[in-house]
Copies of this chain bind each other. A is one copy, B any other.
């Protein structure tokens, strides 16, 4: 059982600092009085909290807003020069790194093709660290930590526990190793989970499905990633769509991945890559393949929706590109199978972040942690 800690003044302070930052983040800019209004704190308290955040370098004060009667308020904003987050992604065939500012803007982003299948984990991480240092130098802002996105089951200690596509990474302490290379605290997570957090914005409760060679998923509830007991949650790719279906790499049969994974799609549609698949979507047998994939996605997602009670689904990764052909059959299955359909229809959204949502999510998770516990600020 997670040991519950006692609360004290410090806990209160942390909570309210985060509340103030949240109010500023959600509106972009806000005066102390507006923050007080939005949060329910008194103006006096907001002033004190804001002072602390200004000193810490998390907030900036802008010139007063004139034009309305009364003393003009000085708007505060998340400091553009304040500490941000570094995101690093190691995937099967590429590496990526990016730096995101406190306000969520991307300051630098680098991607490099790299075949991680044939390389040793240590070497791969050194290459990734070089990319990260490059992004860090370019961004010109300090970072308070790093997030590492990995294609497999990652436990809370940042150790890879199961990586079908990168067997040599099994048991490798990836977060710790990268931490030494970067001189930063690093927390690792599954790439699909981190990609889901990158989608969190207006939408605060949803399931994110990312279609790649494997099919990954991430569950976001009330703006926070649902991680499960060990951090392995969201594995949608191996939800069974048809137990009599084809054998899967996982050892099971008829997993979603066998119907809607990118490899399966390309094989069934007889295409070489995603571009060709999208180009030839008009042809009958390609269209049939995509429709079947959409239907399979609908079956799996209906299970997820019934289990998790979300109203929204976000299609990411390759599915964002293929959405025009997937959404219809997917929605049809949802309408048939989701229990709460009469209460409210499940909405399907398409990600706009492109294929590198995971690395953004990894960087964003660092910023999110900073915003949630602003009293422990330290960066380099």
List residues of chain A with CB under 8 Å of any chain B CB: 1-2, 4-9, 11-12, 15-16, 19, 22, 39-41, 45, 153, 155, 161-162, 204-205, 217, 219, 221-223, 226-236, 238-244, 250-252, 255, 299-300, 302-304, 306-311, 336-337, 339-340, 342-344
Contact = CB atoms under 8 A, between A and B. Distances in A.
Contact of A235 (B9, B310, B339): B339
Contact of A232 (B40, B241, B340): B340
B155 A343 contact: yes
A291 to B, nearest CB: 14
B243 A242 contact: yes
A78 to B, nearest CB: 17
Given A5-B40, A252-B302, A337 B238 contact: yes
A150 B265 CA distance: 43
A15 B19 contact: no
Given A7-B19, A153-B343, 8 more contacts: A4-B19, A6-B19, A8-B12, A161-B340, A161-B343, A230-B340, A233-B307, A235-B309
Nearest to A45: B6
A74 B145 CA distance: 48
Contacts of A244: 242
A217 B307 contact: yes
B16 A6 contact: yes
- Find the residue from A252, A300, A304, A310 having the highest chain B CB count within 10 A: A252
A161 B344 CA distance: 10
A353 to B, nearest CB: 21
27 contacts: A1-B204, A1-B223, A4-B19, A6-B16, A6-B19, A9-B12, A11-B12, A228-B308, A228-B309, A229-B310, A233-B308, A234-B307, A235-B309, A238-B302, A238-B339, A239-B303, A239-B307, A240-B240, A240-B241, A240-B299, A240-B302, A241-B243, A250-B337, A255-B337, A300-B303, A304-B307, A307-B307
Q: How many copies does the complex hold?
A: 2
- Find the residue from A6, A15, A39, A310 having the highest chain B CB count within 10 A: A6
Contact of A7 (B12, B309, B340): B12
A171 to B, nearest CB: 10
Nearest to A222: B2
Contacts of A343: 153, 155, 161-162, 230, 232
Given A1-B204, A40-B6, A229-B205, A306 B339 contact: no
Contacts of A342: 161-162
A7 B14 CA distance: 9
B339 A153 contact: yes
Nearest to A10: B12
- 3 cross-chain pairs, A with B, having the tightest CB-CB distances, nearest first: A228-B309, A233-B309, A7-B15
Contacts of A243: 241-242, 299
A41 B6 contact: yes
A35 to B, nearest CB: 11
